[in-house]
Amino acid sequence: MSEADYYTVPEVQPIDRLDAACQAHDKDCSQGGCSSKGDLALRDVALAVAVTSPDVRTRTTAALIAAAMTAIAPTRSR
């Protein structure tokens, strides 16, 4: 199986918007390293999920991801 096929396997299909954004970020990072653009895209989705999800665990996880991406984005070289 090639890497391009990886995300078509049902077991690794994203379960929600946050998971899809994390997968997109991982894919971006696999293309020459993580980028501030990718970090900020993930941050934006995580912030949206943090304020709209009815589930407290999901909100907490999303808020932590948003904080981490906000902190790391300025350190990226691309």
pLDDT given for residue 7 in this prediction: 65
pLDDT given for residue 1 in this prediction: 63
pLDDT given for residue 21 in this prediction: 97
pLDDT given for residue 2 in this prediction: 72
Structural domain boundaries in the chain = 3-75
**CB 34 within 8 Å of CB 74:** no
**What pLDDT digit, counting tens, does each position of 18-49 carry?**
999 999 999 899 889 999 999 999 999 999 99
Percent of the chain residues past pLDDT 90, beyond the cut = 73
Percent of the chain residues past pLDDT 70, beyond the cut = 91
Q: What is the DSSP letter of 15?
A: S
Q: What gap in Å lies between CA 27 and CA 12, rounded to an integer?
A: 13
Q: What gap in Å lies between CA 1 and CA 40, rounded to an integer?
A: 30
